[in-house]
Chain A
Amino acid sequence: MRKVWKTTGLVVLGALVIVLIFTLLGRLTGRENIFTRSFQTLSAPAEKLFASGAGKLEEVRAALRDYEALKAENEELKAMIADMDAEVRRSQGANAENDRLRQLLELKRSHTDYVLLDASIISWGSSNWSSTFDLDKGSFSGVEVGDCVITENGFVVGVVTEAGLYSCSVRTLVDPRAAMGATVHSTGLTAVAEGDFSLMTAGQLKLTYVFENSVLELGDTVLTSGAGGVYPAGLVIGKISGIGTEEAGYGQYGIVTPAAELQNLSQVFLILEYGEVEHEG
């Protein structure tokens, strides 16, 4: 046993001496240590693995350390996004209003005789038999029964049928009881644009009482003629989107699609007064 230990001890000692000699020689000659290099080559994958694991652990530790700070920052960013969203919405509303007012300014420039009042739609009538809505302006603001209601572009919307102190009711141009003097822009043909129950649900009205030999064309623009005194002349009613023959067999009638998008209205303008001034444009 002692012999075995002695032999082994000698071998180990010899090996150690050899390693030390090679290491010492490497140091002295400036060359790389073959043993160190070999070990580094062999251990590189394991080192990489451990380094990677340590990196991950460090990341987790850092994440844990920064969690509260990140949470606070996240909340702050969320609040900022909400503020920015609100700002964007406000800007979009302001832009839309700006566009409306700009168009209204154009309308005012071309119709200097108009005294206009802006109003917002409070509610739509729930009747299936008529087309009405209420506005937030009434006789306190100078609104009277018979005042004409238009959009910012000068498209006809309807007429005031009832005026309370702070609100008024408007009958739209597609209501079966609505009627107005009309003229076809391209031909100068005069007729009557009136609401029709069958067309009301489709949001259209009828151009009737057209002269027997007159011809209507699809796409013609229909304007108010000013006859009757309720609507000033030259306001756009809509375009002819269909043509038919009257029941009695004489003459034609036109189906008019209003220029004003009634379903999308939110703000309208009341013409409180208008004169007989020559219109520009």
Chain B
Amino acid sequence: MKAETLRSTLGLTLVMLLCYFLQSAVFSRLRIFGVSPLLLPLVAAGAGLLGSSGWGGAFGLLCGILCDAALGGGGMLFTVAMTVMGFFCGFLGDFVLARGFPSYLLLSLAVLLLSALLQMIRLLIYDRAPAWDLIRMGLMQTLASAIFILPLYFCLRRSLRCWRRSRERTSF
């Protein structure tokens, strides 16, 4: 493994672990607007968009495992969903979207809304929970999580800068 790739991997791992601890230990008790924000999907989306589909898939899988652990209940929902989301964000970054903040903001909001949708589907279908209550919770969760988009963008961009530079050098 190249030194640049190793540095970027370490940087991203550090950001991911920080987000995990914030999500599981801090925000499970210290809520924002009465809800706990979701941070790990933002890391998966960022790894995909600012890195590549490979980065997105790999870190999507790791973030998914950690997210399922943080949310409790022993589900596998995010392990699968975030791997796919991370990979897809990478695909969009590789071929469709520019690797800048507007794209990251757009993808982050999409990923957060999709995560909320996935979380509410089972409650809506099996538990007959009121749709409006679920939608309100989903929006609140997205809003509380969106606060972290900007700081995470800079952290992720900084982590992946070495790898991206070395890739640009080799491509020329």
Residue positions of A touching B, CB distance < 8 A: 123-130, 132-134, 161-162, 169, 171, 176-177, 196-198, 201
Contacts and interface: CB of A to CB of B under 8 A. Distances in A.
Contacts of A128: 35-36, 119, 137, 140-141
B29 A124 contact: yes
8 contacts: A123-B25, A124-B72, A125-B73, A126-B28, A128-B119, A129-B137, A130-B73, A201-B137
Interface in B68-83: 70-74
A161 B35 contact: no
Given A126-B23, A169-B72, A197-B137, 17 more contacts: A123-B24, A123-B28, A125-B70, A125-B72, A126-B24, A126-B71, A126-B72, A127-B71, A128-B119, A130-B71, A130-B72, A161-B73, A169-B73, A171-B73, A196-B129, A197-B134, A201-B137
Given A126-B28, A130-B72, A198 B133 contact: yes
A77 B2 CA distance: 59
Contact of B123 (A126, A162, A176): A176
Contacts of A161: 73-74
Contact of B120 (A123, A129, A198): A129
B69 to A, nearest CB: 10
Contacts of A125: 28, 70-73
B36 A126 contact: yes
B25 to A, nearest CB: 7
A169 B74 contact: yes
A54 B43 CA distance: 75
A200 B64 CA distance: 25
B168 interface: no
A126 B70 contact: yes
Nearest to B126: A177
A133 B25 CA distance: 12
Nearest to A194: B127
A264 B110 CA distance: 36
B127 A133 contact: no
B119 A127 contact: yes
Contacts of A196: 129
Nearest to B71: A127
Given A169-B73, A197-B134, A124 B28 contact: yes
Contact of B127 (A132, A134, A169, A197): A197
B154 interface: no
Interface in B1-59: 23-25, 27-29, 34-36
Contacts of A126: 23-24, 27-28, 36, 70-72
B130 A132 contact: no
